[in-house]
């Protein structure tokens, strides 16, 4: 799968088939985590693989009753190791660690997608509850639940704002939507052509 197709085609999947995920595929997803960039190469992540259905149900309850989570055959709980996070950059290290974990989760979601799997970044949960369920020590804090499985839905593509709505040149507020910078927006035309070609084939 071409990288940009994976980036654009990945969707948050919130319904899964009753079909196990091969361990080898979980292995690839973890490998994708390993190669994520991290501030100072600190690699502040630790991951708990949860396959036990009862535990997954408890996780879904701790995630404010997001019941769909319990349809996943596997949930990766991505945690921040606070000792590693704070060991080099002090308070700021906390922010760097969260940013690094964001990179890692995106890598994992893209590789899951490229392997025909669906996933969804779940950030809404009771942290203390998850820690209790999984027996995490004090310095290990869950940051993301990543339910993974074979998709049982094909969600609509959610809207995204256009590049000129969040990009400026040289100075905040100076628009890129000018003839001088039209090269920046060429990709959009190419993507539209590609989508039209695909639609014609269907």
Ligand X SMILES: Cc1cc2nc3c(=O)[nH]c(=O)nc-3n(C[C@H](O)[C@H](O)[C@H](O)COP(=O)(O)O)c2cc1C
* Contacting residues toward ligand X, per CB under 6 A: 11-12, 14, 66, 120-124, 158
Residue nearer to ligand X on the CB measure, 61 or 88: 61
Cβ proximity of 89 and 120 under 8 Å = no
Residue nearer to ligand X on the CB measure, 23 or 195: 195
Closest separation in Å from C-beta 196 to ligand X: 22
Closest separation in Å from C-beta 121 to ligand X: 4
Residue nearer to ligand X on the CB measure, 12 or 167: 12
Residue nearer to ligand X on the CB measure, 154 or 190: 154
**Dist CA 32 CA 91 (whole Å):** 27
Both tokens of 47, joined, read: 């991951």
Residue showing the smallest CB distance to ligand X in the complex: 123
What is the length of the chain? Answer: 202
Closest separation in Å from C-beta 173 to ligand X: 26
Closest separation in Å from C-beta 170 to ligand X: 29
Cβ proximity of 181 and 169 under 8 Å = yes
Q: Name which of 155, 154, 149 is nearest 19 in CA terms.
A: 149
Closest separation in Å from C-beta 70 to ligand X: 13
Residue nearer to ligand X on the CB measure, 84 or 122: 122
Beta-carbon-side half-sphere exposure of residue 129 (alpha carbons within 13 Å): 15
**Dist CA 18 CA 165 (whole Å):** 41
Cβ proximity of 73 and 19 under 8 Å = yes
* E strand segments, 57-114: 74-81
């Amino acid at each position: 799968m071409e990288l940009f197709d994976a980036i654009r085609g990945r969707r948050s999947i919130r319904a899964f088939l009753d079909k196990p995920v091969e361990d080898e595929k979980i292995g690839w997803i973890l490998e994708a985590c390993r190669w994520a960039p991290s501030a100072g190469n600190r690699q502040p992540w630790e991951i708990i693989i949860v396959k036990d259905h009862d535990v997954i149900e408890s996780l879904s309850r701790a995630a404010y009753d997001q019941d769909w989570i319990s349809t996943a055959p596997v949930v990766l709980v991505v945690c921040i190791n606070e000792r590693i996070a704070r060991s080099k950059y002090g308070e700021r290290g906390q922010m760097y660690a969260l940013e690094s974990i964001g990179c890692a989760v995106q890598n994992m979601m893209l590789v899951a997608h490229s392997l025909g799997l669906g996933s969804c970044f779940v950030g809404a949960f009771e942290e203390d509850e998850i820690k209790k369920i999984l027996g995490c020590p004090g310095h290990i804090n869950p940051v993301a639940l990543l339910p993974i499985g074979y998709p049982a839905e094909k969600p609509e593509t959610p809207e995204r704002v256009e590049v000129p709505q969040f990009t400026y040149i040289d100075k905040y507020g100076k628009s890129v939507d000018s003839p001088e910078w039209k090269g920046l927006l060429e990709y959009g035309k190419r993507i539209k052509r590609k989508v039209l070609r695909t639609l014609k084939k269907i």
